[in-house]
Amino acid sequence: MQKKSFSILILVFIYLIFILDIIANQYFLYWYFWWFDMLMHFLGGFWVALLTYYIFFLSSYFKNISKKFSIFILSLVTVLVVGVLWEVFEYIMSVSTQQSNYILDTNLDLLMDILGWLIAYFFLLKIDGDKSVVAERVETDKIN
């Protein structure tokens, strides 16, 4: 996968999440379908993992990070930090406290963030294994 097509994939995912959230709020999908919030957290975890990979491994900002274990740790920590900050935001906005089981909902949301990360991680390993993205990065690093 080319660096440009990977960035397009990231943009498509954030637009998808944005549009689904607007539709869900407009038509109360979070309340009608118990699983819709889980879907959104899954997609969010997937997107944050892709974005982390792009920032740390494909951009020119961090040139010395290239191990698969680093992909694992950096993307997992980033997804967890973003997920926890989102849950804090929901708590401050009293979104999660309106439910009788908000602790269970918070844990399930974080679990879905991690599941989205896990699927993205395997996707990234496949891409990284193809060497096309990594090879493109090495070529651009040599030019600079």
Could you state, in order of their start, the residue ranges of all structural domains in the chain?
A: 3-143
- What pLDDT digit, counting tens, does each position of 57-110 carry? 887 777 776 666 678 898 999 999 999 999 999 889 887 777 778 889 899 999
Mean pLDDT of the chain: 85
Burial class (CB in 10 A: 0-12, 13-18, 19+), 50: buried
Q: Cβ atoms within 10 A of the Cβ of 124, count?
A: 23
In terms of pLDDT, which residue wins out, 131 or 42? 42
Residue owning tokens 């407009």: 26
pTM: 0.84
- Please state, in angstroms and rounded to a whole number, the distance separating the CA atoms of residues 33 and 36: 6
Report the C-alpha gap between 96 and 100 in whole angstroms. Answer: 9
Segment 5-17 shows an average pLDDT of 95
The pLDDT score that the predictor gives to residue 134 is: 44
What's the rounded mean pLDDT across residues 50-59? 87
Average pLDDT over residues 16-23: 97
Q: Which of 27-31, 60-64, 68-72, 136-140 has the lowest mean pLDDT?
A: 136-140
